Amino acid sequence: MGFMKPNFLLILILNITLVLCQFPKQNIPQRKIIYLTKEEKEFVLMEMRQLLKSIHNIHTGLYEENYNFAYNSAKKVGMNMVNELQAAEKFILLKLPSEFKQLGFSTHKQFDILAESIKHKNNKEIQKNLSILTSYCISCHDLYALEVEEK
């Protein structure tokens, strides 16, 4: 038994190491690449940073019990944003896969749904809607990457 223990431990450690080595490969399946011009890519990323900023402002508003601020922060990136950007985004939209656009629309709509629950100060609903919202962010980030197209 005295001999068995170190061997068993060694095998266990080796196994754990092997499993851990495979983790990155399992966790990063190939993402679909969307090719845009440099300016278009920067435009999409700027929009993304606005979404993160809104989520931050929503959390800050909720924490400070400033529901009005949280509501406005959510509304700012709701479907209104899509309508405002439609003209500027026209050429980018043509390059985006339809599932990508669908997920994008669902995300903006979810900001509006979240805004409604903030208006009603329904904390349980707010949490649920934030969770649904961020699940869209995660899904899309798992599926797609942006790259600058070769001229």
Size of the site for ligand HEC (CB under 6 A): 18
Q: Is 145 in the site for ligand HEC (CB under 6 A)?
A: yes
Residues from 123 through 142 that contact ligand HEC (CB under 6 A)? 133, 136-137, 140-141
| Cβ closest to ligand HEC, residue 26 vs residue 131 | 131
Q: Is 13 in the site for ligand HEC (CB under 6 A)?
A: no
Contacts of 99 (CB under 8 A, 6+ apart): 143
Q: Whole-angstrom Cα distance, residue 118 to residue 112?
A: 10
Report the residue from 66, 69, 100, 113 that binds ligand HEC according to the rule CB under 6 A: 100
Site string for ligand HEC, 48-77 (x = CB under 6 A): xx-xx--x----------------------
Task: Kindly provide the b/e burial profile for residues 19-41, where b requires at least 16 CB atoms within 10 angstroms of the residue's own CB.
Answer: eeeeeeeeeeeeeeebebeeebb
Helix axes 98-119, 38-63, angle to 10 degrees: 20
- Asked if 50 and 108 count as a contact pair (C-beta separation under 8 A), the reply is no
Q: Which residues bind ligand HEC (CB under 6 A)?
A: 45, 48-49, 51-52, 55, 100, 103-104, 107, 133, 136-137, 140-141, 144-146
